[in-house]
Chains A and B, each alone.
Chain A
Amino acid sequence: MSSAEVLQRAIQAARAGQKVEARDLLLQVVEVDPRNEMAWMWLSGLVDTLEDRMIACENVLTINPANEKVRGYLTGLQRQHRSLLARKDSNEAASLFNQARAHAERNDVNTALRLAGQALEKRDNYEEAWLLIGRISPVIDQQIAALEKAYKLNPSNAETALALEQARYLKANPMSAAARLEQQGKFEEALRVYNELAAKTKDSREFDHIYKQIIRIEGLQKENIRYIAPTSSIARLTFAWPLLYLSLALMQMGLNPFAHPVFYLWLGLPLVVLGSFLLSLAEVRSNHIVWQKLFSEQGDGSDFARLVTAATGWFLVIIPHVLLLLDSLNRLRNFTIPPMPF
């Protein structure tokens, strides 16, 4: 049987819905006559996979580049193929990113960075992955590059804009960057930054300062000092002054606020709490939201911001104590000295 006859039988079988038989016959045809355009055309509709269909179409176009119908069909197939590949990559990228985020939450930064990088190889426009790298990378240049990518992908994300601004601030202020790493309990990385700074600086005073920081952090590491988050320290220290104020107010009210109430002394308590909080905030280095909201800053509060915060804190702490003092003096003015009992 000639290949033309086999082709005719294949076409009849295909039209009769006998796809497997038709495909086998067509494969026989192209094996004997690889430049049979008609056979390849029919095959492009009968093979199973998208890739095989595309190969069949490409063969048709190699034989007859003017076959516009097949060219159009191939373009459709290629679009479908790209879309499938992208969906597959996207799913893999999402899976890798989720793993990266889980590792980041467990402070396993290296693995998190590697997985986030793999996610980006699958999907370059993965904003969250860039953002994650920008947040956890110990290298400030890598942070900035990643955040810039994330920002370019979505300029309306205020969180990315803020993180990028902060990263640029820390690059321009490496001492703050080292202090920030220490705040986060990343002593090794803080030491690396300090050591780099010590190697670069030519100012002997600055070198002394950096050297002291290095010695201090090495001491903390050597003695295995537990890391305490700045927010915990601020919360703890906030209690100090209100506790004193409450004790003094209690003395003023004869240890019985119900029998001898002085209402405005109670009103002073929230002021002392707020003042004590501001004093703690000014003392403990922390990337606290107050610095961003009130002072539009990226770091731990400039010297000026810390000074203003501390001054406000002192003012708020002192005012209720002055009221307490005035109340005491007023009572002393009306006080009749009792006679000596002995």
Chain B
Amino acid sequence: MLPLNDTEPNRYSFFPIMTVTLIVVNCLIYYVEIFVVGENYWPFFMKYAATPNLVLSAQGGGALSNVTAMFLHGGLFHLVGNMLPLWVFGRRIEDACGPWRFLAFYLLAGTWAHVLFILVQSDSSIPGVGASGAIFGLMGAYLLLYPGGRIRTLVFVSFFPLWPRIRAIWVVLYFVGIQIIPAIQILLKKADYSVNHWAHLGGFFSAVFILLFLRPEAFARYLSDTAV
């Protein structure tokens, strides 16, 4: 299942400048990772990714690494898998917040994703990278603000590609649902996953803060149970 597009129009702004900027910056940084850093990725990741034992011992970049980690990706599929939902869910969240507060919320969701990841896997020395924590924050926010929204989603039914418009609640619940069992296994059995499931959940739960970032009219609409 891969979200492709949110078919609803913007209400307040014409162009999602910050969403597009974030996508471009993520792609540029991935280009740097591949063509500049190349094989020498370990020191680069140690400096600029969120590594639990380093953060907890106040070593390394701290706040800076927490932010830069959100812009690093482990592969092209990782990048595309994050940038598509960033476009799908970010566009209307940015519309409801305005570009700068959207950026602040994005960074906040990414930070709280790292906080939960670091607290749960506190002794891990594996660096956490990727925008997915922040993007799960956007998904949670989308669910709060546009529960009736529909997402054009690519699904494969026995190798046949289909792209129906699915209710956002099902798309988001699917992505959150597939985090829960691995997250429990990590917590209880110290299972080793290459996917940062606790960061995803941390980002998702931080979505409640979206209410502090909304434009006044969007907030009034939210309180009035009307489309934001």
Please state if B108 and A331 are interface contacts (CB–CB under 8 Å): no
The answer, yes or no, to whether A240 is at the interface (CB within 8 Å) is: yes
Chain A binding surface, main DSSP class? helix
Stretch at the interface among A29-37, A48-56, A244-252, A294-302: A244-252
Query: Residues of B contacting A340 with CB < 8 Å?
Result: 42
Please state if A331 and B62 are interface contacts (CB–CB under 8 Å): yes
On whether A337 and B64 interact (CB within 8 A), knowing A226-B224, A228-B223, the answer reads no
Complex: how many Å from CA A244 to CA B60? 20
Please state if B221 and A225 are interface contacts (CB–CB under 8 Å): yes
Complex: how many Å from CA A327 to CA B66? 13
On whether A260 and B111 interact (CB within 8 A), knowing A226-B220, A228-B220, the answer reads no
On whether A332 and B47 interact (CB within 8 A), knowing A228-B220, A244-B111, A251-B63, the answer reads yes
Query: Residues of B contacting A88 with CB < 8 Å?
Result: none
Please state if B63 and A252 are interface contacts (CB–CB under 8 Å): yes
The answer, yes or no, to whether B65 is at the interface (CB within 8 Å) is: yes
Please state if A243 and B209 are interface contacts (CB–CB under 8 Å): yes
The answer, yes or no, to whether A284 is at the interface (CB within 8 Å) is: yes
- Name A325's closest neighbour in chain B (CB-CB): B64
The answer, yes or no, to whether B61 is at the interface (CB within 8 Å) is: yes
The answer, yes or no, to whether A236 is at the interface (CB within 8 Å) is: yes
Stretch at the interface among B50-58, B88-96, B158-166: B50-58
Query: Residues of B contacting A251 with CB < 8 Å?
Result: 55, 62-63, 66, 111, 114-115
On whether A248 and B67 interact (CB within 8 A), knowing A328-B61, A341-B125, A341-B126, the answer reads yes
Query: Residues of B contacting A233 with CB < 8 Å?
Result: 216, 219
| CB-CB contacts below 8 Å: B102-137 with A | 104-105, 107-108, 111-112, 114-115, 118-119, 125-126
The answer, yes or no, to whether A237 is at the interface (CB within 8 Å) is: yes
The answer, yes or no, to whether A254 is at the interface (CB within 8 Å) is: yes
Please state if A338 and B125 are interface contacts (CB–CB under 8 Å): yes
Query: Residues of A contacting B111 with CB < 8 Å?
Result: 244, 247-248, 251
Please state if B212 and A243 are interface contacts (CB–CB under 8 Å): yes
Please state if A254 and B57 are interface contacts (CB–CB under 8 Å): yes
- Name A226's closest neighbour in chain B (CB-CB): B224
- Name A228's closest neighbour in chain B (CB-CB): B220
- Name B213's closest neighbour in chain A (CB-CB): A240
Please state if A244 and B107 are interface contacts (CB–CB under 8 Å): yes
Complex: how many Å from CA A223 to CA B114? 39
Please state if A335 and B56 are interface contacts (CB–CB under 8 Å): no
Query: Residues of A contacting B101 with CB < 8 Å?
Result: 237, 240
Complex: how many Å from CA A259 to CA B59? 13
Give me 22 A-to-B residue pairs in the complex whose CB atoms sit less than 8 angstroms apart, sorted by A's number: A220-B220, A224-B224, A224-B226, A225-B221, A226-B224, A228-B216, A228-B223, A237-B212, A240-B105, A243-B108, A248-B67, A248-B107, A249-B63, A254-B55, A283-B98, A327-B62, A328-B61, A332-B47, A335-B60, A335-B61, A338-B46, A341-B126
